[in-house]
Amino acid sequence: MVKLTIDGKEVVAREGQTVLEAAREAGIFIPALCYHHEVKPYAACRLCMVEVTRGKRTRFVTSCDYKVAEGMVVRTDTEKVQKCRRMVLELLMARCPNLPQLQELAQILGVDRVRFPEGDDDCILCGLCVRTCAEVVGLHALGYESRGFHRRVTTPFDEPSEECILCGACSYVCPVEVVPVVEEDGYRVMERWHKKSRLVACTKCGKFFMTEDELKFLQEKTGLPEERLKVCADCR
Amino acid sequence: MAMTEVVVENVEQNVKEVLARYGNNPARMIEILQDLQDIYGYLPREVLREVSHQTEMPLTRVYHVATFFKAFTLKPRGKYTIQVCTGTACHVKGSYRVLERLEDVLGIKAGDTTDDLMFTLETVNCVGACALGPVVIVNHKYHAYMTPAKVESLIKEYREQ
């Protein structure tokens, strides 16, 4: 057990926990877009900045990947911290002007203008889709391309990935919901990754519930016969 | 001009040899890709796929490294790479006019390659030879005091080589 102070409040955290997790468990709000408890912290969005004092030294850290330590003093509400977060959000909003999730955060954090030239992107490069595909699903369908201004998330060569099974985990985890999954005419389609796969119907209720690629993936992974896997969660 | 087909051969063998040079260690991806680019003049898709296959590194990671550095190119390059210095000194001495003339003569824009795969045209920002400006470099050979008038004969010289 580790004792620390967050915004003047005594907090007991578990060894190895991050400041963000400890704060959230203590009911203290820290904004974050690239954090998800199922994948490793990445510190990409920079919104979770806090001020940490250890001994004589105070500094700014990203709370999502900063581990708690005994006697640490954390402040999430100082003017400096808020200014820092507002700047980060302003930059994200300049990059992606049309994301309701960012507008909502702007209301909370008090960003009322964007002073930078507007871009036309819709991806904040949080990397949650990439990390979920790799760490949770265990595939590497998604990755990054290029760097700086040109950095983006895509499949290799912008071609439909051979690895992608259209499970939709990347869509589910996207904090700004820009990876739509559409099901039509017996296919599941993910336009952003230029990929579609035929849907498989449940042998009991007849409802479409997975893609052929998912079925193949599960067969290889579990070694179970096709008949057993072709039953949906409701009928199992 | 007809588009020249690029033949990519011996992918499996070449990748194997290059990997062996670096102890099959994917942490040395940059050196591996550099050596492969030396062989093919660029990084063909099938080469990146083979690197991923043999190193067991996800293709997404190999692709990220290959697109991260400006030194790597995923498009075929010409036999001759023409670099026009557009650094401050060369610019002042009129390198942009040399570049314009090169674009006219070759029929391509900076960053592109001619269809016959003879020339790739690109700009660089200062090569440390300001006194010789405007400088044009063709496959590591420096051509000093370039003028738009000299462009045509320069291209002709390399075409005939």
Looking at residue B71, what is its pLDDT?
Answer: 85
Looking at residue B67, what is its pLDDT?
Answer: 97
Looking at residue B3, what is its pLDDT?
Answer: 56
Q: Does residue B6 register a pLDDT over 80? A: no
Looking at residue A113, what is its pLDDT?
Answer: 95
Give the closest of A142, A146, A147 to B60, CB-based.
Answer: A142
DSSP assignment of chain B equals: -PPPPPP---HHHHHHHHHHHTTT-GGGHHHHHHHHHHHHSS--HHHHHHHHHHHT--HHHHHHHHHH-TT--SS---SEEEEEE-SHHHHHTTHHHHHHHHHHHHT--TT-B-TTSSEEEEEES--S-GGGPSPEEETTEEE-S--HHHHHHHHHHHHH-
Percent above pLDDT 70 for chain A? 100
Q: Does B61 touch chain A (CB under 8 A)?
A: yes
Strand partners, B82: B121, B138
Model confidence pLDDT, tens digit, residues A46-58: 999 999 999 999 9
pLDDT bucket at A178, cuts 50 / 70 / 90: very high
Place of tokens 């390659």: B113
Pick the CATH number of A2-109 from 3.40.50.720, 3.30.565.10, 3.40.50.970, 3.10.20.740: 3.10.20.740
A49-54 vs A73-75, strand pairing mode: antiparallel
B80-85 vs B119-124, strand pairing mode: parallel
Looking at residue A217, what is its pLDDT?
Answer: 96
Pick the CATH number of B80-160 from 3.30.1490.190, 3.30.110.70, 3.40.30.10, 3.30.420.40: 3.40.30.10
pLDDT bucket at A75, cuts 50 / 70 / 90: very high
Q: Does B63 touch chain A (CB under 8 A)?
A: yes
Residues of chain B with CATH 3.40.30.10: 80-160
Residue of B nearest to A152 (CA): B64
Residue A83 CA to residue A87 CA, distance in Å, equals 6
Q: Please, which residues 107-136 of chain A have a Cβ atom closer than 8 Å to chain B?
A: 130, 134
Q: Which residues in chain B have their CB less than 8 angstroms from residue A156's CB? A: 48, 59-60, 62-63
Q: Do B61 and A143 touch (CB under 8 A)?
A: yes
Q: Which of B29, B46, B57, B60 to mutate to test the interface with A (most CBs of A within 10 A)?
A: B60
Q: Where are the domains of chain A?
A: 2-109, 128-229
Model confidence pLDDT, tens digit, residues B77-121: 888 999 999 999 999 999 999 999 999 999 999 989 999 999 999
Model confidence pLDDT, tens digit, residues B119-153: 999 999 899 999 998 999 999 899 999 999 999 99
At A188, which helix (H) or strand (E)? strand A187-190
Q: What is the residue-averaged pLDDT of chain A?
A: 96
Residue of A nearest to B59 (CA): A156
Residue of A nearest to B46 (CA): A157
Over range A93-121, report the average pLDDT.
96
Residue B79: CB atoms within 10 Å: 16
Q: Does residue B1 register a pLDDT over 50? A: no
Residue B73 is encoded by which pair of tokens? 């190119």
Over range B11-37, report the average pLDDT.
97
Q: Does residue B5 register a pLDDT over 80? A: no
pLDDT bucket at A98, cuts 50 / 70 / 90: very high
Q: Do B60 and A144 touch (CB under 8 A)?
A: yes
Q: Do A141 and B63 touch (CB under 8 A)?
A: no
Q: Does B109 touch chain A (CB under 8 A)?
A: no
Q: Do A143 and B45 touch (CB under 8 A)?
A: no
Residue B120 CA to residue B155 CA, distance in Å, equals 12
ipTM confidence score: 0.90
pLDDT bucket at A77, cuts 50 / 70 / 90: very high
> In 3D, which of A38, A33, A37, A236 has the Cα closest to residue A137?
A38
